[in-house]
């Protein structure tokens, strides 16, 4: 299965710009776009070992239902809890002697990087701190000037995030 770049975004113009840019430069990977945080969580659960990076918006007010309760914070909280649970499981196994301390990370244990692309500074800061506390590599982008930021800042953050994950990508792509 192809590697995956997943994006939580509700604005159609932003989605179109991101999709076009990804298709042009990273067409070898799958791209998943949604404006539903629960769909994003389901994608993360089913495609965890394929994920290269997840990019999250916070405010999703342009959804057809105009929900103010559905936000990227839901996904960030899931990722933080999942990272804490996985870290706890590994510590327990190491303590009980099941896994050597020098065991290399697996695709399911290494946290994939997250890009936060939101104009909501307060909630963006909260998401960033929570994810970093739980071992996630986080890149932050502040949208500006329509979709200009996608081509100026988001693509650079995406490349940095993917580079932070390169060791895992290389190890995963090696033949058995």
Predicted local distance difference test score (pLDDT) of residue 174: 38
Q: Which domain holds residue 130?
A: 4-173
pLDDT at 100 over 70: no
98 has pLDDT over 80: no
Mean pLDDT over 31-54 rounds to 95
Return the pLDDT at 55. Answer: 97
- CATH assignment at residue 56: 3.40.50.2300
pLDDT digits over 110-121, tens only? 579 999 999 999
pTM: 0.80
How high does pLDDT run on average in the chain? 82
The span from the first CA to the last CA of the chain, in angstroms, equals 15
For residues 82-93, give the mean pLDDT. Answer: 54
SS3 per residue for the chain: CCCEEEEECCCHHHHHHHHHHHHHHCCCCEEEEECCHHHHHHHHHHHHHHEEEEEECCECCCCCCCCCCCEHHHHHHHHHHHHHHHHHHHHHHHHCCCCCCCCCCCCCCCCCCEEEECCCHHHHHHHHHHHHHCCCCEEEECCCCCCHHHHHHHHHHHHHHHHHCHHHHHHHHCCC
Report the distance separating Cα 114 and Cα 158, nearest Å: 9
Six-digit token string for 131 = 């994810």
Total number of domains in the chain: 1
Q: Is the pLDDT of residue 175 over 50?
A: no
What whole-number percentage of the chain has pLDDT above 90? 64
Q: What mean pLDDT is predicted for residues 8-22?
A: 95
The CA-CA-CA angle for residues 52, 104, 112, to 5°, reads 20
């Amino acid at each position: 299965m192809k590697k995956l770049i997943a994006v939580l975004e509700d604005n159609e113009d932003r989605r179109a710009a991101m999709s076009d840019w990804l298709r042009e430069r990273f067409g070898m990977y799958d791209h998943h776009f949604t404006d539903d945080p629960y769909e994003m969580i389901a994608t993360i659960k089913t495609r965890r070992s394929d994920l290269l990076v997840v990019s999250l918006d916070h405010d999703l007010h342009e959804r057809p239902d105009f929900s103010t309760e559905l936000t990227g914070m839901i996904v960030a909280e899931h990722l933080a809890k999942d990272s804490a649970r996985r870290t706890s499981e590994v510590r327990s196994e190491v303590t009980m002697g099941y896994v050597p301390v020098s065991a290399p990370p697996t695709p399911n244990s290494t946290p994939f990087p997250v890009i936060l692309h939101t104009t909501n500074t307060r909630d963006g800061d909260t998401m960033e701190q929570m994810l970093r506390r739980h071992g996630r590599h986080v890149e932050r982008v502040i949208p500006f000037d329509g979709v200009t930021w996608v081509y100026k800042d988001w693509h650079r953050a995406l490349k940095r995030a993917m580079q932070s994950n390169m060791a895992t990508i290389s190890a995963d792509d090696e033949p058995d």
